[in-house]
Structure 1
Amino acid sequence: MALVDSVNKAARRVPAWLLYIVAVIPPVVMFYWAVTGRLGVDPVKNLEHEMGELGLKVLIVTLAITPLRKFAGVNLIKFRRALGLIGFTYIFLHLLVWLVLDVQILSQIIKDIIKRPYITIGMAGFALMLPLAVTSNNLSIRKLGPKWRVLHKLFYPAILLGAVHFVMLVKGWQVEPLVYLAIVVALLATRMTLPKRLRAAKS
């Protein structure tokens, strides 16, 4: 309990806007590594992969915030919007690297989206995140009212599609993507059972 109190006390002292500044560092470092040959023999592919995986990790942390508060008492809610936007930005950069530095040819991009299931699934997940990123501001919350919460439930299928995209992307059955998918499924299951438990506790 003392540890939880210490974490919550430290979290209250950290402004959410600081995350946006820190979030700039990984893409800059990765791009520097790519241009200086530190990302291996295929720096574009490795940069694309690293950005996508980092984005998925941040989104998983975002998804874990509510269960952490409910089950562990760790309150990081103030960081949820910032983490969600940061995760989206990393995924956007992942997509941008693929579009601009990897494939480059528009006709080939369209063919890949249509013919390659893992790309189709990844693009579908990104499309679901777009309205969430656009409406992640106080003005949209006021304008949309209760509809805002309904809209932002799109985050759940979006992150699931992202995890499935990662599993399908890698060659063979590698452990790491499967672990990410298992964590996402577990967290989504937790989110689905939480309302039922709360209703049962109140009755």
Structure 2
Amino acid sequence: MDRLNGYARRVPTWVVYGLGLVPLALLVWGAVQNSLGVDPVKAIEHRLGELGLQFLLASLAVTPLRRVGLNLLRFRRALGLLAFAYVSLHLVAWVWLDMGLRWAEVVADLWKRPYVILGMVGFLALLPLALTSTNAAIRRLGPKSWGRLHRLAYVAILAGVLHLVLLSKVWTAEVLVYAGLAVVLLGVRLLPRRSAQGRVPA
């Protein structure tokens, strides 16, 4: 584990951003080459949403991994911002490519489709996290207030997984993996805190 931590310390943060944008470049290339299947718009939407969920799960995994000795804390901000970027692009793809900027239909979907509502909840939960991701924001808010605000990541991951579940309509292996990872990561982060609160003082 020490060796892995040593490797991680030598990796610049920009490498994480660069690698994180590779899937976007491949998606754009696929669109240009017309190799995204019979419904490229849906393929783009699904892939962007999937990437947003993957990076959000990765950012939430940083703390549990640190508890077992693997310190990737310096990459958590990059992973979180990549998650926000992909979720934002997922939203843009839906509004622009899928709905064609027909705002009346967009608003109607927000009212009648639960999975759209959950997707918007996830995006809105991530928005303040992205806006307060700088060191200046941490100093301005204070570490405790900043930490409380960033618990919105839990809301975002729950909304994202439920969005995927309702959109998929069936429990595929992909859905089960994402839901299982989300439950495990949230459980690892929250259960120790609950047990500590319930401990009887000596």
TM over 0.5: yes
Listed one character per residue, the Cα deviations across residues 76-105 of structure 1 (whole Å, up to 9, x for unaligned) are 011001100011101111111111111121
1:34–1:44 contact (8 Å) kept in structure 2: no
Residue type of the partner of 1:152?
Answer: H
C-alpha distance in 1 between matches for 2:121 and 2:177: 21
Pick which of 19-28 and 159-168 moved more. Answer: 19-28
C-alpha distance in 2 between matches for 1:9 and 1:180: 30
Unaligned stretches of 5+ residues in structure 1: none
C-alpha distance in 1 between matches for 2:82 and 2:58: 11
C-alpha distance in 1 between matches for 2:192 and 2:9: 25
Pick which of 133-142 and 166-175 moved more. Answer: 166-175
Shift of 1:21: 2.2
C-alpha distance in 2 between matches for 1:194 and 1:11: 26
Structure 1 vs Structure 2 CA RMSD: 1.6
Aligned to 1:181: 179
Listed one character per residue, the Cα deviations across residues 44-74 of structure 1 (whole Å, up to 9, x for unaligned) are 100110111011011111111111111x211
Aligned to 1:94: 90
Pick which of 38-47 and 28-37 moved more. Answer: 28-37
C-alpha distance in 2 between matches for 1:101 and 1:167: 22
C-alpha distance in 2 between matches for 1:198 and 1:74: 23
Residue type of the partner of 2:76?
Answer: R
| TM-score, normalisation: structure 1 | 0.92
Aligned to 2:79: 83
Unaligned stretches of 5+ residues in structure 2: none
Aligned to 2:32: 35
1:125–1:161 contact (8 Å) kept in structure 2: yes
Aligned to 2:149: 151
| TM-score, normalisation: structure 2 | 0.92
1:66 to 63, 75, 84: 63
1:7 corresponds to 2:4 = yes
C-alpha distance in 1 between matches for 2:70 and 2:181: 18
Listed one character per residue, the Cα deviations across residues 158-203 of structure 1 (whole Å, up to 9, x for unaligned) are 1111011011111423221122112101110110123356676x97
Partner secondary structure for residue 24 of structure 1 = helix
Aligned structure 1 segments of 4 or more residues deviating by more than 4 angstroms: 196-200
Partner secondary structure for residue 60 of structure 2 = helix
Q: What is the count of residue pairs matched by the alignment?
A: 198
C-alpha distance in 2 between matches for 1:171 and 1:131: 30
